Amino acid sequence: MDKNGFKNKVDVIFVGDFLNGFRNSLGICLLSACLKRAGFKNIKVCDQRFSKIKKLIKANRFTFIAFSTLSVYTRPYLRLAEKLKRKFPEVVTLFGGPHPTFMPEMIENYGVDAVCRGEAERALVEFLENYDYRNKKVPENVPGWWIKDFNGRIIKNNRAEIINDIDSLPDPDRSLFPPFGKLHFIFSRGCPGYCSFCAMPGMKHFYDKNFKDYFRTRSVDKTLAEIKSVVASFGRQNLFFHDSIFGLDRNWLKEFSRRYRLEVGLPFFCNSSINIVDHEYLQLLKSAGCKNIFFGLETADQEVRRRVLKKNFTNTDFFSVIKLARSYGLEVDVFILIGLPDGKLEDDLNSMAMAAEASSNYHNISVQVLCYLPGTSIRKKYQTFFPKDKEDFRFSRNVKYPVLNYKSLRKDLHLLYRLQSLTTLFAYLVIPGLGIRRTIFELPPKVVKLLIHLPVFHISNMLAKKIIKHDSFKKNKKYFSFFKK
């Protein structure tokens, strides 16, 4: 019910990161679908450029600028929100996503009107439905929100309850983003793991739930209906299932595997975990049509993996799972983290070598400098290292994504960023015949060390970043044949 009679006059502009033009953010798509279902029609999406958002703001309309906030974007989004509020004091800025969930104090910044903690499908609709447009009064009591009223007073509501029946949610509204590359999906929420660098355990804690109460999955019926409708709209492509551990519920996977093969039959990529893999699991994935399976190795040092990262598998477990997956004809992708606290460059090079040995080819390795993300236990453990200003993340941008880290935990941080850049950069740059990325993973450690000291790699990295971010590259990507998707 549109009790305000104002829904048609409300614009919601979701702001996502600059590179997301290439991908759809499922969180934004889902929130948009919920708003549309509730009767809000004017939903837009924009990247983080002031000039572009400015053009979308229309006079005499109630405009909400909704920032979907990963920690790495907090600083630029806060700057942008401040600029927007100074230029257009009447717009209302909303922040949601993983960062505000764990750091709601960001509301104290000028330019932030409200922050939402946790899942927001119900909370956002309730906020907008109860906003008193006529009298410009903020809705003070909506669960999930910290809200600044017009006198600058901050109202802190309790968290909202999670939605148990996620089948009741609409399919994400993918019309917001032009389709590009793979089609992205996520069907379940929650993970049994307690990895110290990941926000997922923090979410269970935030909701005060054990894994069993927190884990939710869409039914196979709903899952297949969503996939079929997206494939019908955007054509046949590769699909990526982003569930933390795909097919964690074995009965679900059995039904999915049988029906997906018959009803969809397209290749897909998915995340998994070394700890849950057995013959039956791999066989179900394979017969469904799985092409690539992603595992987090994180480090070659099994003691550090267990003690610091809280991941419980040995190197022997790892290699036997990889061997098994390969025996089913699955391609294996490996994630590693470099820059672990108190580690050395040699340890990182060892991890790279182990990932190279396990992964199906050199493009299937992701090398990331560890981020001390809010809500993670590794951040808590090292919290004395962090500055008082909670939003003071120091950024270093690589070609793909920005990462954050602190020099005090690894003195060689600048080298690590270069190392990450080297491995990431050459995932994009496929120079025919040269196979540079392959070379990086095969070179003796001494040579890699020498390379990351060379300024030429720093410069080439900076250039690549500029090219990738440039509009003409985005528009004419197909002409840059040496850039991989």
Query: C-alpha angle 322/326/331, rounded to 5°?
Result: 95
Stretch that binds ligand SF4, among 160-168, 192-200, 442-450, 471-479 (CB under 6 A): 192-200
**Contact partner, 195, from ligand SF4, ligand B12, none, Cβ < 5-8 Å per class:** ligand SF4
Nearest-approach distance from CB 365 to ligand SF4, in angstroms: 17
Choose the contact partner of 65 out of ligand SF4, ligand B12, none; CB within 5 to 8 A by kind: none
Amino acid at 132: D
| Window 144 to 173, contacts with ligand B12 (CB under 6 A) | none
Q: Which of residues 96-135 bind ligand SF4 (CB under 6 A)?
A: none
- How far apart are alpha carbons 330 and 322 in whole angstroms? 9
Nearest to 82 by CA among 119, 118, 126, 112: 112
Residue 156, token pair as written in the block:
């802190």
Nearer to ligand B12, 331 or 449 (CB): 331
413 binds ligand B12 (CB under 6 A): no
Q: Which does 403 bind (CB under 5 to 8 A by kind): ligand B12, ligand SF4, none?
A: ligand B12
Q: Does 359 bind ligand SF4 (CB under 6 A)?
A: no
Give min distance, CB of 316 to ligand B12, in A. 26
Q: Does 296 bind ligand SF4 (CB under 6 A)?
A: yes
Determine, following the binding rule CB under 6 A, whether residue 74 of this chain makes contact with ligand SF4: no
Number of residues in contact with ligand SF4 under rule CB under 6 A: 9
Q: Does 244 bind ligand SF4 (CB under 6 A)?
A: yes
- Segment interacting with ligand SF4 (CB under 6 A) among 3-11, 134-142, 188-196, 465-473: 188-196
Query: Does residue 68 interact with ligand B12 by CB under 6 A?
Result: yes
CA-to-CA distance for 307 and 406, rounded, in angstroms?
20
Q: Is 242 one of the binding residues for ligand B12 (CB under 6 A)?
A: yes
Residue 201 within binding range of ligand SF4, rule CB under 6 A: yes
Closer Cβ to ligand SF4, 27 or 66, answer by number: 27
99 near ligand B12 (CB under 6 A): yes
Question: Which lies closer to ligand SF4 via its Cβ, residue 193 or residue 343?
Answer: 193
- What would the x/- binding string for ligand SF4 be over residues 264 to 283, using CB under 6 A? ---------x----------
Q: Among 94, 160, 365, 367, indicate the residue that binds ligand B12 (CB under 6 A).
A: 94
Choice from 80, 81, 92, 191 touching ligand SF4 (CB under 6 A): 191
CA–CA dist 64, 81 (Å, integer): 11
Query: Which of ligand SF4, ligand B12, none has residue 34 at its interface (CB below 5 to 8 Å by kind)?
Result: none
Contacts of 19 (CB under 8 A, 6+ apart): 400, 401, 469
Q: Which does 193 bind (CB under 5 to 8 A by kind): ligand SF4, ligand B12, none?
A: ligand SF4
Tell me the closest approach of the beta carbon of residue 332 to ligand SF4, in angstroms.
Answer: 16
The item of ligand SF4, ligand B12, none sharing an interface with residue 31, based on CB under 5 to 8 Å by kind, is ligand B12
- Residue 247 CA to residue 255 CA, distance in Å, equals 10
Binding segment for ligand B12 (CB under 6 A), chosen from 249-257, 368-376, 407-415, 453-461, is 368-376
Pairwise CA distance, residues 115 & 299, whole Å: 35
The Cβ of residue 287 has, within 10 Å, a number of other Cβ atoms equal to 13
Half-sphere exposure of 84 (CA within 13 A, CB side): 32
343 binds, among ligand SF4, ligand B12, none (CB under 5 to 8 A by kind): none
If one counts every other C-beta atom within 10 angstroms of the C-beta of residue 455, the result is 8
193 touches ligand SF4 by CB under 6 A: yes
Applying CB under 6 A, the residues found at the interface with ligand B12 are 17, 19-20, 23, 25-27, 30-31, 66-68, 70-72, 94, 96-99, 116, 119-121, 124, 186, 198-200, 242, 244, 368, 371, 373-374, 401, 403
Applying CB under 6 A, the residues found at the interface with ligand SF4 are 191, 193, 195, 198, 200-201, 244, 273, 296
